[in-house]
Chains A and B, each alone.
Chain A
């Protein structure tokens, strides 16, 4: 069974750094790209970027380029999304999802709250 299991809820202060994770199982990890999608409170879905776990090739949405970093560790079948300096506007739920044409399996989401 394909599963993407994300790390838990985070509460951070502006300026802090953070790395959240998405652990994949149930399929060959290097067969598929994995995406990150943001959902701000009460809003729609926004595509952030994508990574190929085989060689960590990464592409970003222009809206998120330079604001986040996507990485992967294929030895532990995990992808990451990180920030070096959080802002209040980063408050959102972040989803990882497997790309099989479209997004066929999703993580459960990681809720991030950034507040002073």
Chain B
């Protein structure tokens, strides 16, 4: 089973700052890497799929990059509504999905 490790666990930043979130896989996930945002009491929302493709309606300040085992979600300039928990997820072995442990982006 592929294990996804996210870092840092918590990121303390101010609005307007750049956020860089990391997701490392225990083996090559090819390009089947997605990112989700979850706010308290809400369902997760798909942000990015296939490493770098934004889901419909997702602002351009969200971008994904990486390959193989190392991936990054970047939020170019944090808006107040971006403070949330972010999960990476891989689907390299259909139908199994595995999620990372999450990174909480909190207001500094």
Contact residues of A with B, CB < 8 Å? 33, 35, 37, 44-47, 50, 59, 61, 95, 97, 99, 101-104, 106-109
Contact = CB atoms under 8 A, between A and B. Distances in A.
B83 interface: no
B98 interface: yes
A103 B44 contact: yes
B43 A102 contact: no
B70 interface: no
Given A35-B97, A95-B44, A108-B43, A45 B49 contact: no
A106 B97 contact: no
A101 B44 contact: no
B71 interface: no
Contacts of B89: 45, 102-103
Contact of B87 (A44, A97, A99, A106): A44
A95 to B, nearest CB: 6
A106 B101 CA distance: 19
Contact of A104 (B50, B55, B98): B55
B49 A102 contact: yes
Interface in B59-108: 87, 89, 91, 95-102
A46 B4 CA distance: 12
A44 B44 CA distance: 11
B29 to A, nearest CB: 12
Contacts of A35: 95, 97
B39 interface: no
B21 interface: no
A61 B96 contact: yes
A107 B43 contact: yes
Nearest to B98: A47
Contacts of A61: 96
Interface centre among A33, A44, A46, A59 (most CB of B within 10 A): A44
Contacts of A101: 49-50, 91
A44 B91 contact: no
Interface in B17-63: 34, 36, 43-46, 49-50, 55
